[in-house]
Amino acid sequence: MMGAAMGGIFAGILPDQGAGFWPLVSMGAILGGTMRSPFTAVIFSLELTHDTNVLLPLIMAVACAYAVTVLVMRRSILTEKISRRGLHLSREYSVDPLETMFVHDVMRTNVVVLPDNVTVAALADSLKDSHRNRGQRLYPVVNRDAELVGVVAASELELALDEANVSTGDRPLMDLVRVDPVVAYPDEPLRAIVYRMAHTGMTRLPVVERSNPRQLVGLIGLRDLLRARVRSLDAETQREQVIRLHHMIPARARRFVRRTSVR
């Protein structure tokens, strides 16, 4: 409305091109400049009038308005008030990889599990010299039927191992186990896992089947979430595909190139 009114005001000064020419051009320019969407402004104006004769001047006016707003203002006026409140805004619109990737895509399935019927001292030799458990900071605890009964943190287990070496007592492993752990499901998006970790403070979660919460299928942690980000970045950087020239050059031309190269 403001653009059309300005066009109507300046129509008496500008060259006469008809009653609605300058209001239409001014409306498109204001729309493209304020919203930072020049193509939307052009298409919107053409849909209102169906007059293709105004296409060229409309494109020029919208492009000039868009250039002025980009050079003068760092942001669009639609988001300027929000940015003045200290909120960061971006012009990039993309899909978060944590929304499109699921737990089963990045979870670790080769994990070390502990039985529930052992003592802390009995685990000393098997955990200290095992190279498989490096980097694993959470140990699922399972029963005889391989069902998940809880988890134990590596820090608590290491502290209990040190106490077992000093004292003569033999502490059961179940004294350290959290029997009601926070779990993740294979079909959940990674964004839900991030929110769950932030809400609970747990950075590593056991992954269980949704139909059977006792069936352990893997582990997921912050490192796995970062691996999802890296995978998304690799997909973006490797999107371009090189087209080999021999697919585009005819067979006769390829023979000629080979002969000349041999000579």
129 CB-side CA count, 13 A? 3
Contact assessment for residue 244 and residue 238, using Cβ atoms and an 8 Å cutoff: no
* Nearest of 34, 20, 86, 27 to residue 61 by alpha carbon: 27
Q: Which pair of tokens denotes residue 8?
A: 């109507």
Between CA 128 and CA 24 the distance in angstroms is: 77
Between CA 58 and CA 41 the distance in angstroms is: 9
- Specify the amino acid at residue 148: L
100-116 average pLDDT score: 90
55-76 average pLDDT score: 84
Local structure of 75: helix, strand or coil: coil
* Nearest of 52, 60, 77, 76 to residue 25 by alpha carbon: 60
Of 190 and 129, the structure prediction assigns the larger pLDDT to 190
Which pLDDT belongs to residue 250?
56
- 118-128, pLDDT tens digit by residue? 888 888 766 76
The dihedral region occupied by 248, where left means phi > 0, alpha psi between -120 and 50, and beta the remainder, is alpha
- 139-189, pLDDT tens digit by residue? 999 999 989 999 999 888 888 877 766 554 578 889 899 999 999 999 999
- 2-14, pLDDT tens digit by residue? 877 887 777 777 7
| DSSP conformation class of 71 | H
Among 4-8, 15-19, 51-55, 150-154, the range of highest mean pLDDT? 150-154
Between CA 203 and CA 156 the distance in angstroms is: 15
Biggest CA-to-CA distance, the chain? 102
Bridge partners of 220, per DSSP, are 205
- Specify the amino acid at residue 77: I
- 193-252, pLDDT tens digit by residue? 999 999 999 999 999 999 999 999 999 999 898 888 787 777 666 654 555 545 545 555
Which pLDDT belongs to residue 68?
87
Show the domains of the chain with their CATH numbers: 2-84 (no CATH), 99-237 (3.10.580.10)
Which pLDDT belongs to residue 221?
92
pTM here is 0.58
Which pLDDT belongs to residue 263?
46
